[in-house]
Amino acid sequence: MRARIFLALIGVAVACAGDPENNDALGGRGGGGMGGGAGTTAGSSGVGGATDSGGAGGAAGNSAAGSGASDASGASDASGASDASGASDARSDATGGRDGSAGDTVTEGDGRSIPPDTSATDVPREPAAEVSGIDAAADASGPTYPADVLDLTDWKLTLPVGAAGSPTEIKQPALRTFSMPPYFLLDKSGTGVVFQAHAGGVTTSNSGYPRSELREMTAAGSQSAAWSTTSGTHTMTITQTITHLPVVKPHVVAGQIHDASDDVVMIRLEGTNLFVEGGGNDLGTLNPSYALGTRFMVRLVAAGGRIRVYYEDLATPKVDVASSATDCYFKAGAYTQSNPAQGDDPSAYGEVVIHALAVTHL
Count of beta carbons in the 10 Å neighbourhood of residue 78: 11
Q: How far apart are CA 17 and CA 35, in angstroms?
A: 17
pLDDT at 141: 73
User: What integer pLDDT is reported at residue 63 of this predicted model?
Assistant: 33
- pLDDT at residue 140 in the model: 58
Residues of the chain with pLDDT under 50: 1-139
CB atoms within 10 A of CB 205: 8
State the pLDDT at residue 87.
34
> What is the distance between the alpha carbons of residues 242 and 254, in angstroms, rounded to a whole number?
8
Q: How far is CA 344 from CA 33, 191, 204, 275, in A?
A: 60, 31, 19, 22
Encode pLDDT of 109-151 as tens digits.
444 444 444 333 333 444 343 333 334 344 457 899 999 999 9
CA–CA dist 92, 232 (Å, integer): 47
- What are the chain's domains? 2-93 (no CATH), 99-361 (2.60.120.200)
Residue 106 backbone zone (phi > 0: left; psi -120 to 50: alpha; other: beta) = beta
| Dihedral angle computed from the Cα positions of residues 259, 263, 264 and 266, in that order, rounded to the nearest 10 degrees | 140
Cβ neighbours of 99 (radius 10 Å): 15
Q: Which residues of 264-274 are buried (b: 16+ CB within 10 A; e: fewer)?
A: bbbbbbbeeeb
Give the pLDDT score at 92.
35
Interacting residues of 358 by C-beta distance below 8 A, sequence separation 6+: 151, 235, 236, 237
